[in-house]
Amino acid sequence: MAQRRSLAVPFGAVLAISFLARVATGLGLSVNNHAADFTLSTGLGPAISLSCLVHNSSQAEELLWYRGDGQVGLKEGNKVNISNICISPVNESDNGVAFTCKLARDKSVQVSVILDVQFPPRLSGEETLHVEEGKDATLTCNSKSNPQAQSTWYKNNNNLTLQQSRHELYQTSEVSQLSIRKVQKSDNGTYTCVVQSLLGNGTRDFHLVVEDKKPVFPKEAVIAAVVVVTLTILFGIVARKDKFLKGW
């Protein structure tokens, strides 16, 4: 009697067969007519619609959407073969975020859209800082924008001349910070941070008021004075008590 043998197919072979079948049929996705990852530039406010479409599939395919690593909830009727999401309103926090459409049964089939949200710097107003003479002062302005802005510092409407020993300028894509070491009376004045980008400008004024240095009393002298006063009071109380007893 002939014996039947069952052949175990390695899991890797199954994946390879699945991949070859997908390649042969051309199964794929597109988002807004893009079949590969792409960047979408936009501004703040107006809504953006992203449409994901399945190509070359002979069956109903469920689709998934992700914002970064988090899955986006989809309503029934918006999951099979074609799926749409709307981003509204577009804000600064959406900049650089990837929205990805994936095939539910094979998440390696996917297309990502990276949002390039462009916005001008949001900088205005003024503030006053009171700093004691001899201490450090730090002036910070928000220079966040896309594309990245350039910042310039002025003092009393003139370009600020930075002194290596006293001034330190720290700048990132979001913050411009001016530090002044051991402020002096000559540092009094209005410092202006001007942020410039292709989409607009922003300014913020800092009124620096350098106050007189407060007198510093030696700790030992203060303790000694407290001890002397305390002993004087105690001796006074004892003396009055003795006088009172003698009177009796």
Alpha helices in 128-218 (DSSP H): none
| C-alpha–C-alpha distance, residues 148 and 120, integer Å | 9
Those residues whose C-beta lies under 8 Å from the C-beta of residue 186, and which sit 6 or more positions away, are: none
- Mind listing the domains of the chain with CATH numbers? 11-118 (2.60.40.10), 126-211 (2.60.40.10)
| 244 three-class SS | helix
pTM exceeds cut of 0.85: no
Q: How many Cα neighbours within 13 Å face the side chain of 218?
A: 4
DSSP strand pairing (137-142 vs 175-180): antiparallel
DSSP strand pairing (175-180 vs 167-171): antiparallel
Print pLDDT tens along the chain (248 aa). Answer: 444 343 344 544 433 434 444 444 589 999 999 999 999 999 999 999 999 999 999 999 999 999 999 999 999 999 999 999 999 999 999 999 999 999 999 999 999 999 999 999 989 999 999 999 999 999 999 889 999 999 999 999 999 999 989 999 999 888 999 999 999 999 999 999 999 999 999 999 999 999 998 876 556 666 776 777 777 777 667 666 655 545 55
